[in-house]
Structure 1
Amino acid sequence: MVATTPSASTMPGCILIATDGSDDCAGAIRTGIALAHSRGARLIGLSIALDNPEYNTLVPNLHEVAEARARAALQSFIDEAGASAEATTRRSADPADGVVAAADELSADLIVMAESDKNILTRMMVGDTTAKVIGRTARPVLVVPRSAHIWDKRILLATDGSPHSEAAAELAGHFARQAGLPVSVVSVVTSSHSDARRKEAERAVAAAMEHLTGQGLQAEGQMAEGRPDEAIVKAAESAGADLIVVGSHGRTGLTKILLGSVAERVIGHAACPVLVVKA
């Protein structure tokens, strides 16, 4: 049975887009706004004013400078979203903590962030702030590459039967229904997996397929073999999917603080938005 996230029936009624004003955030802003407009959802832009108590004693006007920078970072969001959207800043010594706290305070159903903080040495991993937000919040996080846009072709759901994957299946079905899109389901095994583990993967695909088709959605399923993150991205590309939905952690992943390595690497590889879901 697929688990239901607390807000799955109404998600997303409130969308929070976190931006630092960089060009990397263009895709997150564009996609978050389009999603909010398609749902008639409350739309909030957020920027964090970095607040370091140690430096505040050395630079008396540091609060004002940080706040001014945070407001300036929201300008591109305001220009694109229009007058009906809200824009707010929060002070925090850690940007990730600030985003998570604001999402809780504002009762956001979905956090939208950029695939940022990346360079040639870390191009296959998600940006540090985004990874920390996913690790610290219980809310779904949509990570959007700079050039990406809202999905209009197909959704790919990656599952391994874990509670996080079951929650991901619920939201994948929600987004598919809302957009009228088909869903491809994939579960990945490696050459080292036992027959029992392969059977578990087959059952995970079958359960997700039953859940999706039971809601009247068009769905297809497959097994793939290889390194999980690479196989998931390849399956999305082969299916023509422009949204990937994954659980934040797999069957053996750490569940309390860190973002699971498979989800993190999927985000690092994928050219399309990736929705990361927790149970």
Structure 2
Amino acid sequence: MKIVFATDLSDANEAAIESRTCLECLDNIGVREVHLLTVVPDNVSSGLPGMDAASDAREALAPQRNVFERAGFEVETHVARGTPHRRINGLAERLDADMIVVGSRGQSPLRNRLIGGTVRNVARTAVRPLLVERIEETASGHAVRKEHLFQDVLYATDFSENAARAYDYFPSLTGATERAYLLHVGDGDAESTATAEERLDELATDLRDRTGFDVETNVRSGNPVDEITAEEERVGATTTLIGARGTSRLRRLLLGSTAESIVARGTNNVLLVPPEAAAPR
């Protein structure tokens, strides 16, 4: 498996890369090749004090590259100039990567933030599965919020085709996932709740047979974003798996409001599977 790991060279992203358990999770799902990418925005010039943007960025990537190499990954580094989300997605498509990984917090010396708008824009335009890894500030610096990325996966489904694509990503997590929690958020109608419970039970049986995971199901009612985040907390999920909606002929992904809110406002790691090129090889 081949991934593009986008970094803004901040302490926050270094914390994600240096987390041994996170590296083990990537190894356990079959990641062998890592393409470490940082993007120098167009408004950063070599005239800034102490900074020749491209060469400084390449030099700054060396410690992060060393961490991956010591963990046994094959690593290539890339420095691009331009709009971050376009360069991230462009490299992933050019390399035919299986996944993009971005950190959700942090600011680099190059003032390129892989949070907020950049992450949302990566998600909106990606045609590769996107892992948003949550990083938090601590008293001693930064740390990943939940280290065991794929150990406990919450899968939120509305039973759409796009949700089914995300469900089909589960087998690629074998080796790292121990438990899966299947969730549907409905309107509280008794009949639709019963139908949803039946459909989730069918998915749970299939998933146990295919992967051997421990699987639980639940149907909640209310606002989808609120209920998904509440379920994340209840079950202790380390990553939320969710499908995105719709893509145009220009391959510009238009996130559904629920997926976008989970990516933008949530505190859990998120694995977002887009409609195209979603199935892992």
TM-score by length of 2: 0.75
Determine which of 260, 263, 268 is the counterpart of 1:267: 263
Secondary structure of the structure 1 residue equivalent to 2:175:
helix
* Match of residue 156 from structure 1: 154
Determine which of 35, 41, 45 is the counterpart of 2:25: 35
| Larger strand percent | 2
CA distance in 2: counterparts of 1:132 and 1:262, whole angstroms: 15
Determine which of 200, 212, 230 is the counterpart of 2:207: 212
* Match of residue 168 from structure 1: 166
1:182-261 aligned at under 5 Å gives the runs 182-190=179-187, 198=193, 201-202=196-197, 204-215=199-210, 216-249=212-245, 256-261=252-257
Contact 2:37 2:80 in 1 (8 A): no
Which stretch shows the higher mean deviation, 14-23 or 37-46? Answer: 37-46
Cα 1:136–1:186 shift into 2, 3 Å: same
Secondary structure of the structure 1 residue equivalent to 2:128:
coil
Determine which of 94, 100, 108 is the counterpart of 2:83: 94
Shift of 1:219: 1.3
1:36 maps to amino acid: L
1:53-202 aligned at under 5 Å gives the runs 65-82=52-69, 84-116=73-105, 127-146=116-135, 147=144, 148-151=146-149, 153-175=151-173, 177-190=174-187, 198=193, 201-202=196-197
Cα 1:264–1:17 shift into 2, 3 Å: same
1:218 maps to amino acid: D
Contact 2:39 2:81 in 1 (8 A): yes
Length, aligned pairs only: 248
TM-score by length of 1: 0.75
Secondary structure of the structure 2 residue equivalent to 1:70:
helix
Task: Give the root-mean-square deviation of aligned CA atoms.
Answer: 3.2
Shift of 1:17: 0.6
Contact 1:136 1:257 in 2 (8 A): yes
Secondary structure of the structure 2 residue equivalent to 1:179:
coil
CA distance in 2: counterparts of 1:273 and 1:180, whole angstroms: 14
Contact 1:187 1:224 in 2 (8 A): yes
CA displacement 1:67-106 (0-9 Å, x = unmatched): 1243244244224223654232243421100001111122
Secondary structure of the structure 1 residue equivalent to 2:241:
strand
Contact 2:8 2:106 in 1 (8 A): no
CA distance in 2: counterparts of 1:200 and 1:25, whole angstroms: 43
Secondary structure of the structure 2 residue equivalent to 1:214:
helix
Cα 1:217–1:33 shift into 2, 3 Å: closer
CA distance in 2: counterparts of 1:189 and 1:137, whole angstroms: 28
CA displacement 1:216-275 (0-9 Å, x = unmatched): 43211110112111211211221122121111239xxxx943333212322345433210
Secondary structure of the structure 2 residue equivalent to 1:266:
helix
2:5 maps to amino acid: I
5+ residue gaps, structure 2: 108-114, 136-143, 276-281
CA displacement 1:191-217 (0-9 Å, x = unmatched): 6xx778656644652443243133143
Contact 1:230 1:269 in 2 (8 A): no
Secondary structure of the structure 1 residue equivalent to 2:217:
strand
